[in-house]
Amino acid sequence: MSAKKPTIAIADYGIGNLGSLANAFAYNGADVLVTSRGADLVAADGMVLPGNGAFGACKQAMDKLSISRWIGQRVSGGRPVLGLCVGHQVLFDDSTEFGSHEGMGEWPGTVEKLKAATVPHLGWNTIRPAQNSTIFAGLENERFYFAHSYAVLEWNFDQGIEVMEPPHVSWSNHGGDFIAAVENGPLTGIQFHPELSGYAGLQLLNNWLGTL
């Protein structure tokens, strides 16, 4: 990272643990802005899309702020966006939580209920990081904090599509495998909460800040 503090814009659409996220990025030396203004979300070095709770309610609130448009503008310019928890889920095609809801379709896949005896999946779990993962560098054996009932259970990306670099997909398991994180050029999605995962989580966010 350069000497200048990176600027991070956290999207404020009314639902999310905004205070904790801001604290975690501030801890890592970022200049943090919690904002609902599109211009601010596009201008920052990094944009973070938080999310708590129901997919449909979150997506509807995001749509009111044209969040997918700002993400599109950033990604087409190769500028990093990080989606967390429901902010990660909305990057996929759709969700079956409380009916059927359309996502942003950045990646193929459906957000489905975890096939486990106990949901929510709540607590500290391990991950199987993708080879060449940037965000999990040095953190392969750490546990991270999960708090969700839904996830994407299959990765259907057509690896035949010619891309600069195929997406890196990391997995976790709770009553079956599910996608824990996707790193796809400037677009990163994480199902768990790095901001609540102690020093391992802070290091993961620092790894992401290193890509800005």
Partner 1 sequence: MSTVIRVIPCLDVNNGRVVKGVNFENLRDAGDPAELAHRYNNAGADEITFLDVTATTEQRDTTYELVNSTAKEVFIPLTVGGGIRSVEHVDQLLRNGADKVSISSAAVSNPDLLNEISNTWGAQVLVLSLDAQANPAMPSGYEVMIKGGKEGTGMDAIAWVQEAEERGVGEILINSIDADGTRDGFDVDMIKAVRAAVSVPLIASGGAGEPSHFPPAIEAGAQAVLAASLFHYGPDDMIGQVKDAIEAAGFTVRR
110-143 exposure pattern, b = at least 16 Cβ within 10 A, e = fewer? bbbebeeeeeebeeeeebebbeebebbeebeebb
Closest separation in Å from C-beta 170 to partner 1: 15
Report the 10 Å Cβ neighbour count for 184: 18
Nearest-5° Cα angle at 60, 55 to 64: 145
Whole-number Å distance between alpha carbons of 112 and 202: 28
Task: List phi, psi (to 5°) of 61.
Answer: -65, -35
Q: Which residues are catalytic?
A: 85, 193, 195
Closest separation in Å from C-beta 159 to partner 1: 28
Q: Which stretch binds partner 1 (CB under 8 A): 64-72, 88-96, 99-107, 197-205?
A: 197-205
Pattern 104-123, partner 1, x by CB under 8 A: -------------xx-xxxx
Q: How many residues bind partner 1 (CB under 8 A)?
A: 43
Q: Does 18 bind partner 1 (CB under 8 A)?
A: yes
Closest separation in Å from C-beta 135 to partner 1: 16
Whole-number Å distance between alpha carbons of 194 and 146: 9
Structure tokens at 29: 């030396």
Query: Residue 43 or 54: which CB sits closer to partner 1?
Result: 54
Report the 10 Å Cβ neighbour count for 76: 9
Q: Does 127 bind partner 1 (CB under 8 A)?
A: no
User: Which of 6, 186, 189, 201 forms a contact with partner 1 (CB under 8 A)?
Assistant: 201
Give me the residues that bind partner 1 (CB under 8 A), please.
Answer: 14-20, 22-24, 27, 34, 52-54, 57, 86, 117-118, 120-126, 143, 145-149, 173-175, 193, 195-199, 201-202
